[in-house]
Amino acid sequence: MSAVEEAVEIAVKAFDRNDILLAAKVDPLEEVIDELKNAMKKKHIKRLQSNKCTIEMGFVYSDLITVLERISDHCSNIAECVIEMSHDSMNMHSYLYKVKHEPIMNFLNSSKSILRNML
């Protein structure tokens, strides 16, 4: 939840201030949130298999982490629009491809650190 809260805060500030440098921080964080969601779902499956959680509670848990991940996706969309509007274009697909396939070394280092701290 703290990662999603951070993504929301950054996206709103970036939009409000029309700050592309701030907006550029959202997508790497969104990628971390995606990884967290996947890790949390895997751990949850193990809890279900060992009867440490009920199926009913599992549905609630799964819905919750899915909704949080969707919120981070919306934050990413806001940030991408801020960035693309500053370039007088709306080619978000190209921007997203670049973020996801040409990662910056700082992003890789910070995302590993964030993942370690949150798991």
Compute the average pLDDT of residues 27-36.
94
Residue percentage of the chain with pLDDT more than 70: 73
- Distant-in-sequence contacts of 80-86, Cβ < 8 A, 24+ apart: 80/23, 80/27, 81/15, 82/14, 82/15, 82/18, 82/19, 82/20, 82/23, 83/20, 83/23, 83/24, 85/18, 86/18, 86/20
Rounded to whole angstroms, the Cα distance separating 90 from 86 reads: 9
Rounded to an integer, what distance in angstroms lies between the CA atom of residue 72 and that of residue 4? 6
Give pLDDT, residue 95.
Answer: 56
pLDDT confidence tier of residue 113, bands split at 50, 70 and 90: low
Alpha helices in the chain (DSSP H): 2-17, 20-23, 26-49, 55-86, 92-101, 105-118
pLDDT in tens, 88-112: 655 555 656 666 666 555 555 555 5
The rounded Cα 102 to chain-centroid distance in angstroms is 17
| Range in 29-43, 44-58, 74-88, 99-113 with the lowest mean pLDDT | 99-113
Q: 80: burial class by Cβ within 10 Å (0-12, 13-18, 19+)?
A: buried
Mean of per-residue pLDDT scores for the chain: 83
pLDDT tens per residue across span 56-85: 888 899 999 999 999 999 999 999 999 988
pTM: 0.71
